[in-house]
Every structure is written in structure tokens, then in C-alpha cells.
Amino acid sequence: MIIDCHYHLEERLLKTDELLSRMEASGVDKVALMAGMVEPFKEPSTFLVGLLQFLLTHKSMRGIGKSLVANFNAQGDIILLGKAYAIDKDPDNGPVFDAVKRHPGRFFGWIFVNPKGKNDPVKEYERWENMPGAIGIKAHSFWHRYRPVDLAPVASGLAKAGRPLLIHVGFGEEGDFSSLLKVVPGLKIILAHAGFPAYRETWKKIKDNKNVYVDLSQTSYVGDRITRDAVVYLGVERCVFGTDGPFGFYGQDGKFDYGFIKKRIERLFPDKGVQKRLLGENFAEIACLT
């Protein structure tokens, strides 16, 4: 079974029916959906993407990379290439579980929470946790701008249930997931985008913590080198396939190239056993789908 663990349900960029068609064409069996949280924007040029990855993956230049991706205005909007895009402080989980209900054989659902939003994270989790297809919590401490330890109240219940937290961490305090693990030591965490933004420093930190994984999603933050190095350093069992669609490289039709990251993994890791682990088996075990 091939499972995309990281996909935002964003109908303004790709309709659900189109996603299902692209899953079929790409050979992806199931997708773990999460709510959209930002106004649609297109991927920068491949040159800018390559430059950003170079800056972020070299510690001495990471500050320059940060200046390109961590700009927010007074309203909390993210500024990318000089343009502001509104961030939703309370992503709507309703459409996600509506899609899961309509297509139970194809979709799972993450429960998006934000301790800085209006919705109480514990109540939001409890509202959706027993819905068919619910697999865990999605959080974005980077763009919602909080410390991961602020998730401790809801993460405690998540750990007791044996469910994972998929989190996109940021810089400084917004990336300090270790403090959360000290409070909730049994929590299973998947760090989005290969452990962005610290990458190798993060891998060293989590090397001996078997409860912490990375997903290999995104095209702006994650390229061939980071994908390969993450798997080699952490081991095949600690990495999982995701796309971060429908944000990413576009195909010739001007829409999200859904098969891009799957093809990247297959190209970098031709061993069928390795592909099996990375493309679905690992996530199925983490999310207790087997």
C-alpha cells in the first residue's frame, strides 16, 4: 500500500476528483488529508528553489534562508517574494472529514490544531478523534508562530491513544520540539519536510529517539540531496513519503505534479524493499493502520 502522509485539501488549487485521478495515475493508494491553511500561491522558479535549499542546508548561511521564508506582517500573513498571503489561524477540519466520509477507501484525515487560534486544541481534537479515518494531529508551529511545547495538553491525549503528531516546526523556539517530548515522552512525532529548517542538526538530535520520524514532502524545502541524506542518516524505517500537495512543482498542465516526489523516491532508492518501507509501510505502522 502506498500512502501519501501529507496533503492539504485545497480545492482552489486542485479539486478532490482531480486528486483522485492523479493518485490513480501515480499509483498512490491512500492519502492522509489535512486542512488548507494559507491562500494559494505558486511554487517559485527552480532557480530560487535551488538557492533556498542551498542556503537552508548550510548552517553558516541559514540566516539568509530564514530571511526569505520567515517574514510575517502585523496581521500574521506570510510574505513570500514580496507578496502577503493570508494564514488561517483555525484551519477547518470539516471539509477534510467530509472527503474522508465520501471516499473512505482512499483518504485518512489529520486533525489540524493551533494553540494560538480561537479553537481550543483539546476540544478540537476531541471533536474529531472518533471520526472514521482520523489518524492524529497536524500542527504548524512555524506559520502559526508558537512553541511546540504549547501543544502539550492535546499531545498528552494523543500519546495515550498511540496516535502521531505531524508538525511543521520553525526557527528558534518555534522549532524546539524537544521540550514537548520532555513533557510528553511517549509522543510519536513526524517532523515535516525532512526536519526543516535545521535538517542535519535535527537528525543528530533525533537519531536515538525511535519515536521521532521525518516525512520527505515538499519541493521548496526538500530536494534530492536532503531526501537521500535523511534516509541514509536516520535509516529507512524513520522516513515516510508525503507530497505537501497541492503546493509544489507544477506539471505541463499548469497544475500540481502529484507524482513528482514519488518518482524522486523511486529514482533515488531503486531497491523495491526500501521503496515499500518509504512509500507506505512505515507510515502504516506509525499511524497503526495495519
Q: What is the pLDDT of residue 42?
A: 80
Q: What would the pLDDT profile of 150-194 be if each residue is shown by its tens digit?
A: 999 999 999 999 999 999 999 999 999 999 999 999 999 999 999
Q: Output the furthest CA–CA distance in the chain (Å, rounded).
A: 49
Q: What would the pLDDT profile of 233-276 be if each residue is shown by its tens digit?
A: 999 999 999 999 999 999 989 899 999 999 999 999 999 999 99
**Average of pLDDT values for 128-133?**
97
Q: Is residue 120's pLDDT more than 80?
A: yes
Q: What is the pLDDT of residue 40?
A: 92
Q: What is the CATH number of the domain that holds 42?
A: 3.20.20.140
Q: Is residue 85's pLDDT more than 90?
A: yes
Burial of residue 169 (CB within 10 Å: 0-12, 13-18, 19+) is buried
Q: What is the pLDDT of residue 98?
A: 98
Cα separation, 96 vs 35, in Å, equals 6
The domain of 241 spans 3-286
Q: What is the pLDDT of residue 44?
A: 84
Distance from the Cα of residue 127 to its chain's centroid: 22
Q: What is the pLDDT of residue 187?
A: 98
Q: Is residue 147's pLDDT more than 90?
A: yes
Cα separation, 93 vs 110, in Å, equals 8
Q: Is residue 290's pLDDT more than 80?
A: no
What is the total count of domains within the chain?
1
CA-based nearest residue to 29, from 62, 1, 67: 1
**Average of pLDDT values for 74-82?**
93
Average pLDDT, the chain: 96
> Residue 149 is placed in which grid cell?
511545547
CA-based nearest residue to 116, from 150, 93, 91: 150
Q: What is the pLDDT of residue 43?
A: 80
